Amino acid sequence: MTALADNSSELLVRFSRRSMAAMLVIVPGLGAMALAMTLWPEGAASRFMAQAAWVYPIAIVFLGAALRATLRGKSWDPRSPDAKAILNDELRQHSLNRSSRAALIAVLVAQIPLALLFGTLPQASAIRTALAMAEASIILGTAIFIALVLFLDRE
């Protein structure tokens, strides 16, 4: 009977989790740099980002290719039965729903600490402070969402 359940479904599940884990690294990393550029446009981080801006798309493409290589020749076709089983999986749906609710609550709760934090920064204009708060909220919400999905959708 084990021939029936080949490991293609497991490969796709692992691919999905690895992709989300990669996103969990990329989003806060790029977000932190964007935040630094917003708050300190003349700072060292902004200069570094401006000089090495071409590196990031290439790094992301390489990371994507490395992730695809873990599929061992299989492709992610959303219409395939394996992919449908993963996308419509109830445990995954539960995890996505609970994670999105938790991420929204976390973002709402974080607004006051973020306002206090960014409000105390010297040499930051009101528009930059507002922009930084928006960026920080997006980073926080996305990171919490992905981390919770990975945690709740575990074995």
Interacting residues toward another protein by CB under 8 A = 1-2, 4-5, 7, 9-10, 13, 81, 84-86, 89-92, 94, 153-155
- Give me the sign of the Cα torsion angle 58, 75, 23, 100: positive
- For another protein, the closer of residues 10 and 77 by Cβ is 10
- For another protein, the closer of residues 79 and 154 by Cβ is 154
Cβ density class 110-145: b for 16+ within 10 Å, e for less: beeebeeebeeeeebeeebbebbbebbbebbbbbbb
- Smallest gap from Cβ 17 to another protein, in A, equals 10
- Smallest gap from Cβ 47 to another protein, in A, equals 45
- For another protein, the closer of residues 62 and 77 by Cβ is 77
